[in-house]
């Protein structure tokens, strides 16, 4: 049995993922900020752990990750507040990477977005700019760690059905590239134990290929 920790465990992608992994027989720990969310997380088959990563030290996060085999970052500040965006999507994410190294977790999956990177092209007067900057910094830091990392870059998230069909590395950015949160969760579950996905940045959107075939074609 693999032990997987999901940071941002009450998010929609995270809850979809924990349901998938729990159904596969994996042991899932979901870190949540709000204790009122613990019951929702437990209903997916995960074990909720209350930890506010925004205000936690690296050592505190490392203690929560200890004895796990993999960690999935699916947390986010939700936009609207630049200061919190940098505090969560950049600073806390980076602390979680250092914590994973400290606690001996080898595998790290980052949920980012299609078009993320230093050349994201989002203008400074766009409300999305601070999130784009934060994700660029966090993704870059992850690539420099010794972790077995994978960065997932889905298009614009929707509440559509999890068809299990995607297109990998599509042209364009996240805008206009609908990607069901359920499909993001399915991709995250698929890459967790896929050696070919290590040290890869994978852009994708809803498409026409089964996930396994799409990921195989990428390698």
* 129: CATH: 3.40.50.720
pLDDT at 173 over 70: no
Q: What is the mean pLDDT of the chain?
A: 95
pLDDT score recorded for residue 217: 85
C-alpha distances in angstroms, 128 versus 94, 114, 181, 188? Answer: 20, 13, 19, 24
pLDDT score recorded for residue 78: 78
How far apart CA 209 and CA 165 sit, in angstroms, is 5
Confidence of residue 172 (pLDDT cuts 50, 70, 90): low
Confidence of residue 77 (pLDDT cuts 50, 70, 90): confident
Q: Determine the structural domain holding residue 8 and report its residue range.
A: 3-218
pLDDT score recorded for residue 111: 98
Task: Report the percent of the chain where pLDDT is more than 70.
Answer: 96
Confidence of residue 39 (pLDDT cuts 50, 70, 90): very high
pLDDT score recorded for residue 103: 98
Q: How many domains does the chain have?
A: 1
The predicted-structure confidence for 136-158, as pLDDT tens digits, reads as follows 999 999 999 999 999 999 999 99
C-alpha distances in angstroms, 197 versus 61, 100, 102, 217? Answer: 25, 18, 23, 12
Task: Report the percent of the chain where pLDDT is more than 90.
Answer: 90
Confidence of residue 219 (pLDDT cuts 50, 70, 90): low
Q: What is the pTM of this model?
A: 0.95
């Amino acid at each position: 049995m693999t032990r997987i920790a999901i940071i941002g465990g009450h998010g929609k992608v995270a809850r979809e993922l924990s349901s998938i992994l729990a159904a596969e027989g994996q042991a899932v720990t979901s870190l949540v900020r709000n204790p009122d969310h613990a019951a929702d997380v437990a209903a997916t088959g995960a074990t909720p752990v209350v930890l506010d990563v925004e205000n936690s030290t690296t050592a505190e996060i490392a203690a929560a990750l200890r004895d796990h085999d993999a960690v999935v970052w699916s947390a986010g500040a939700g936009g609207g507040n630049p200061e919190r965006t940098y505090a969560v999507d950049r600073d806390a994410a980076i602390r979680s990477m250092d914590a994973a190294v400290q606690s001996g977790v080898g595998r790290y999956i980052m949920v980012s977005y299609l078009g993320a990177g230093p050349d994201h092209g989002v203008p400074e007067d766009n409300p999305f700019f601070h999130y784009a900057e934060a994700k660029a910094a966090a993704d870059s830091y992850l690539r420099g760690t010794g972790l077995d990392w994978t960065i997932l870059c889905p298009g614009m998230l929707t509440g559509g059905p999890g068809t299990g069909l995607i297109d990998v590395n599509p042209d364009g950015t996240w805008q206009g590239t609908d990607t069901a949160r359920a499909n993001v969760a399915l991709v995250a579950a698929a890459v967790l134990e896929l050696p070919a996905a290590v040290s890869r940045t994978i852009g994708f959107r809803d498409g026409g290929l089964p996930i396994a075939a799409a990921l195989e074609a990428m390698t």
